Amino acid sequence: MFFKHLYEKGLAQSSYIIGCQATGEAIVIDPQREISQYINIAENENLNITHITETHIHADFLSGSRELAAATNGKIYLSDEGGKDWQYRYMHIPLHDGDVINVGNLKLKVMYTPGHTPEHISFLLSDTTLSEKTMMIFTGDFVFVGDVGRPDLLEKAVGITGTMELSAKQMFNSLTRFKNLPGYIQVWPGHGAGSACGKSLSSVPSSTVGFEKISNWAFQIEDESKFIDELLKDQPEPPKYFAMMKKINRFGPTVLGGIPNPVKLTLNQFKKVVSENITILDSRDKLSFAGGHIKGSLNVPDNSAFTTWTGWMLKYDEPFVLITGKNTIEELTKNLARIGMEHFFGYIADLNNWADHCNELEVVKQITVSELSELNKNEEIQIIDVRENTEYKSAHILNAVNIHAGLIENNLDRINKNKKVVLYCESGDRSSIAISKLMNNGLLNVYNLTGGIKAWITEGSQVVK
């Protein structure tokens, strides 16, 4: 048997390619939209991708199943569990609890595991050349290492009321089935630390059924109502783009036939973009953005969280351009394609040419810890903590209110336009993102706390817990 785990850091997402070397057949589980990686692996291992499947309708990235099927002629196998309201709406071979996918000498048995979503399934893998017994389970967003899938996305992200409690009960029942599996079975989940599909995922890529039963918090609570309360408590804010991902993945993403190749804009083309108020996404780091950026542009730094924050900041029905280096444009284009941001007008590599032609640049005002301490004594300012609520509750600056960075535009009525407004996060990236959104909406009396709350604590300033 051939086995390969692929991990995309930006979305903390796992996919898998598994092959029977005797017959040359292979299956891909939860493929990303960038399919060349699977095709290259298959070719190097003398395998043909004949089967493609998913654990559920994903909310955090666009599925590559249709893309991969178009390129390989592999057949798509998808869940038909959960009722008609939760099923895929494009052509596939339906799967139900207990069904088996045969990939040469490999068997993948379907285990219906609702809770994260109503249609969710997991796959129990056996290599029959060794034994009929299960050796691995691919759990998708059902069981993670150290956590389980959140049941609230349909309600919080998609807006389908009344699903949260029911999904939590389904998760409790699904975990009961999981507990009955042999402890030696390897657990390979769909996400790791950094994903918004759970609240306490480990960075360890895999585990076993036995270890999860003794270490995962979800298996330590026997009472259903207590489990539901704990499962729903302190879940991270779901990114805005999750609702769109659910819709597109259900009906089937567009087959691209390859990653788009964006146009590098000339200065005149870029001037036209600016004059037409097309959204500008500036991927430079927070300090470069603060030092000088085009008025109204949005800052999403090119780091491991770029994809998620782009999903928070951009709108799917509006075109945009990107500011990034020529050595990073290809990777960022892949990141944008992963969440279906396809209204990509083009890019420029830097702002030097723009500034050299006497075009105005805007700055982000900075405030130091000592300056903020003085201003905070006489309430001349409004302080906004843009981190997750759990981070805010663990420790925050006195008088700070909590508004998640991704929801700052939804809360403009809470911003005091008659005071200096200071934003902070852990170290400054998220607050820079939020400030760029406020400035995009015409609020200019805003400041970024240099170094964030990390600097505040390092310099000995008091926090509220």
153 to each of 116, 158, 436, 439, how far by Cα in Å? 8, 7, 27, 30
Residues 52 and 156 in one domain: yes
Q: What is the pLDDT of residue 162?
A: 87
Tokens of 224: 């259903």
Residues 125 and 200 in one domain: yes
Residues 322 and 244 in one domain: no
Quick one: pLDDT band at residue 358, thresholds 50, 70, 90? Answer: confident
Residues 375 and 308 in one domain: no
Residues 147 and 236 in one domain: yes
pLDDT, average across residues 349-359: 86
124-133, 255-264, 368-377, 389-398: which has the minimum mean pLDDT?
255-264
Mean pLDDT for all residues in the chain: 95
* In a domain? residue 398: yes
User: Measuring CA to CA, which residue among 179, 166, 74, 168 is closest to residue 137?
Assistant: 179
Neighbour count for residue 16 (Cβ, 10 Å):
21
**What per-residue string of b and e applies to 282-313 under the rule 16 or more CB within 10 Å gives b?**
bbbbbebbbeebbebbbbbbbeebbbbbbbbb
CATH of the domain at 344: 3.40.250.10
Instruction: Tell me the three state secondary structure of residue 431.
Output: helix
Residue 439 in contact with residue 296, Cβ under 8 Å? yes
Count up the domains in the chain and report the number. 3
* In a domain? residue 260: no
d(CA 27, CA 101): 9
Beta pairing, strands 48-53 & 25-29: parallel
Where do runs of H (alpha helix) occur along 193-328? 209-215, 224-232, 242-251, 267-275, 286-291, 306-313
Where do runs of H (alpha helix) occur along 34-133? 36-44, 65-72
Work out the percent of the chain whose per-residue pLDDT is above 70.
Answer: 100
User: pLDDT tens for residues 111-152?
Assistant: 999 999 999 999 999 999 999 999 999 999 999 999 999 999
* In a domain? residue 258: no
* In a domain? residue 225: yes
Residue 329 has pLDDT above 80, yes or no: yes
Residue 61 in contact with residue 338, Cβ under 8 Å? yes
Quick one: pLDDT band at residue 434, thresholds 50, 70, 90? Answer: very high
Total count of residues recorded for the chain: 465
Residues 341 and 372 in one domain: no
Residue 341 has pLDDT above 80, yes or no: yes
Q: What is the pLDDT of residue 148?
A: 98
Query: Of 20, 197, 358, 425, which one is the catalytic site residue?
Result: 425
Instruction: Tell me the three state secondary structure of residue 285.
Output: coil
Name the residue range of residue 198's domain.
2-251
* In a domain? residue 22: yes
- Rounded (10°) CA dihedral 386, 167, 66, 305: 20
d(CA 310, CA 406): 10
Residue 181 C-alpha from the chain's centroid: 30
DSSP code at position 98: T
Residue 388 has pLDDT above 80, yes or no: yes
Residues 103 and 183 in one domain: yes
Residues 208 and 133 in one domain: yes
* In a domain? residue 464: no
CATH of the domain at 39: 3.60.15.10
d(CA 362, CA 70): 46
Domain boundary among 221, 251, 281: 251
Phi, psi torsion values for 76, nearest 5 degrees: -100, 125
Its pTM stands at 0.94
Residues 187 and 314 in one domain: no
Q: What is the pLDDT of residue 325?
A: 85
Question: H or E segment at 434?
Answer: helix 429-440
Half-sphere exposure of 212 (CA within 13 A, CB side): 32
39-43, 73-77, 155-159, 449-453: which has the minimum mean pLDDT?
155-159
User: pLDDT tens for residues 161-194?
Assistant: 889 999 999 999 999 999 999 999 999 999 999 9
Residues 238 and 295 in one domain: no
Domain boundary among 308, 333, 356: 356
Active site residue 197: no
* In a domain? residue 259: no
pLDDT, average across residues 221-245: 95
Domain boundary among 356, 374, 396: 356
298 to each of 69, 278, 294, 350, 421, how far by Cα in Å? 36, 11, 9, 15, 18
Instruction: Let me know if 24 is exposed, middle or buried by CB neighbors in 10 A (0-12, 13-18, 19+).
Output: middle
Residues 271 and 312 in one domain: yes
d(CA 98, CA 308): 35
Residues 371 and 351 in one domain: no
